[in-house]
Each structure stands twice: as structure tokens, then as C-alpha cells.
Amino acid sequence: MTFNPTSFPEVLISKTSIHSDARGWFVERFRKDLLEEAVGHNINFCQENRAQSYYGVIRGLHYQMPPAAQSKLISVIEGKVLEVVVDIRKGSPNFGKHITVELSSKNQKQLFIPRGFAHGYACSSKTAIVIYHVDNYYNQSSEANIAFDDPQLNIDWQLPVNKIILSEKDKSHPRFKAAQFFDYNQSLYD
């Protein structure tokens, strides 16, 4: 299992070795010690979330503010999604920029998203099942969001506009300029 930085050095892609034979395959999906070595601090995942989505579903952009901010380790066990990560740390050199990573059951990649980043994903296969581990419990009062289609972010979700499916909640998120942000100089893991 290796962890490599994306163009956002704090956001890591994990690639695992797949061991195949006549019986099928085996993969080591999570090693706490290797993840902590890669991120440089303790990670204590306390909640696992799973979501099934159909083609065209966009979920996001979501995050939680302190004191309930969350780091996430995201993987796909069925299908394929385009994961989008937005740096929302005011003062960061990447503030307001985003990256995209394809996660699929075929490529077996995982994405580690630390606190201070918003994320969302678009389902680009018939169905997809996404699993994410988080290091803080869901807290409705700390929930924050950004509109998926904010023109300032200019995200290409790689879906035809007429095929996009959103929840009522995801249709009403604020624009980026009205969102809540993290402070780049604030320690998020104290």
C-alpha cells in the first residue's frame, strides 16, 4: 500500500497491490500505521459511511466545520465515481482550487481528504457504492456545504447537464463566496 500526494500535497491517493490467482483476488485496503506515517499524525476513524448512487447523481460539496471537522478515506467498492476536492482553507496557496480523481472498483484507489477540504462526487457508472471512513462523528450543527455548480469553482463533473441528479438539499447550497472556510494557519488536529 502506497500513499502519494496529489497536486494538493495534503490530499493523498492510496494505491494497493492486488494479489490474484485462480480463486479470485485479495487486497489490503487499510493500514492505520501506513496512513499515519503518510499524513504525519494520528488518525482515529470512528464512523464508516456507505452510499449507493445511480448514474448522474452528484453528492456535494460537503464538509463539517470545527469542532466536528472530518478527515475522510474514500473508496469505491462497486462502479466508478469522479471525486472532487476543494481547498477551503483561507490563506492556503490552493484556496478555492479543486482537483478531481477517478475512484473505481477496478482501479482500487482510495483518496485521503484531510480536514479543511470540501468534497463531492459524481457517479459515472450505472451504479456505484462509495465507502468512506471519517475521524469525527457526523454533527448536523457543524455541517457546511458549497453549491456543486458554483461558477467561481468551475468544476467539470464530466456528466451531461440533463443527466445530473441532485437531492433537494444539494440544490440549495450556498455559493463559494458565501461559504464557511477554515483558517489555513489553524491546527485542525489539536
The set of catalytic residues is 62, 132
Q: Identify the CA nearest to 30 among candidates 52, 9, 47, 45.
A: 45
- Grid cell at residue 165: 441528479
- Comparing CA positions, the residue from 132, 76, 73 lying closest to residue 104 is 76
Q: Which three cell numbers stand for residue 89?
A: 482553507
- Measured between alpha carbons, how far is residue 154 from residues 39, 44, 88, 163, 175 in Å? 29, 33, 15, 18, 12
DSSP string, 31-86: -HHHHHHHHTS-----EEEEEEEETTBEEEEEEE-TTS---EEEEEEESEEEEEEE
Q: Are residues 104 and 80 in contact, defined by beta-carbon separation less than 8 angstroms? A: yes
Q: Which of 65, 98, 93 is nearest to 83 (CA)?
A: 98
